[in-house]
């Protein structure tokens, strides 16, 4: 009959089955098989060892399943974060384009207003010259000329304001568009970085679950082997 030290090495399933077979049927080279109560005890012990092996395999399978779940969660979270970042960047680019277009239209409206002021100036001065000529006054001298110069001065001041407003609209529009793109890019970077960190945590948790499952499976199989060895030693 084999000694207990042999059964501690039953972590190997093929070796465990060999030990069980030898205890029940005798060594491969011959010998009398166990009989009576000893054989019954060995059958129960062998069944317990097989059950321990099955439980160990189930624990390993559960650990693998748990690790797979963590890895899938990590992949899904990272993929969703990347897709959201891409969609957010596209939306920001569209919005920035609209801001630039709005600023361009606003600047053009100011330029149109400035051109309208110049047209009005020409019309007013032409009317002033016509009235001066009808009155027999030289329109390039005296009060007639002063009125025209005052009209030009006031109009050019207003045109300067419209040009400044047009330039301001373009500058502010560009700044708003750039700020929108920069803030969106920065926020997307933070979101993806957070998702990567979380994915790393899920990956580590999956590894830990896999290791824990392996330890539990080894402990279960070892306990079954020890119980089998103890039963076999009592039967000697």
pLDDT for 126-154, tens place per residue?
A: 888 888 888 777 767 778 788 888 889 99
Q: With bands split at pLDDT 50, 70 and 90, how would you rate the model's confidence at 63?
A: confident
pLDDT range class, residue 108, cuts 50, 70, 90: very high
Mean of pLDDT over the chain: 79
Q: Which of 68, 60, 16, 64 is nearest to 42 (CA)?
A: 16
Environment class of 49 (CB within 10 Å of its CB; exposed 0-12, middle 13-18, buried 19+):
buried
Query: Which residue pairs from 148-155 have beta carbons closer than 8 angstroms and sit at least 24 positions apart in sequence?
Result: 151/121, 151/124, 151/125, 152/121, 152/125, 155/117, 155/118, 155/120, 155/121
pTM exceeds 0.75, yes or no: no
Domain positions in the chain: 5-234
């Amino acid at each position: 009959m084999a000694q207990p030290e042999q059964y501690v090495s039953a972590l190997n399933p093929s070796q465990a089955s060999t030990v069980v077979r030898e205890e029940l049927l005798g060594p491969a080279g011959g010998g009398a098989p166990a009989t009576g109560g000893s054989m019954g005890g060995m059958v129960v012990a062998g069944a317990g060892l097989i059950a321990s092996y099955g439980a160990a395999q189930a624990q390993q399978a559960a650990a693998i399943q748990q690790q797979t779940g963590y890895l899938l969660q990590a992949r899904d979270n990272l993929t969703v974060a990347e897709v959201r970042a891409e969609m957010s960047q596209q939306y920001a680019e569209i919005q920035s384009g609209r801001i630039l277009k709005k600023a361009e239209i606003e600047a053009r409206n100011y330029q149109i207003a400035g051109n309208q002021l110049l047209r009005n100036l020409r019309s007013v001065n032409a009317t002033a010259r016509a009235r001066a000529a009808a009155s027999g006054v030289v329109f390039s001298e005296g009060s007639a000329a002063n009125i025209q110069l005052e009209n030009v001065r006031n109009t050019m001041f207003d045109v300067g304001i419209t040009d400044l407003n047009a330039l301001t609209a373009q500058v502010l529009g560009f700044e708003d568009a750039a700020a929108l793109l920069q803030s969106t890019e920065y926020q997307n970077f933070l979101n993806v970085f957070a998702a990567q960190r979380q994915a790393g945590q899920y990956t580590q948790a999956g590894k830990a679950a896999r290791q824990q499952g392996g330890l539990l499976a080894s402990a279960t199989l070892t306990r079954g082997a020890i119980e089998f060895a103890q039963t076999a030693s009592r039967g000697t």
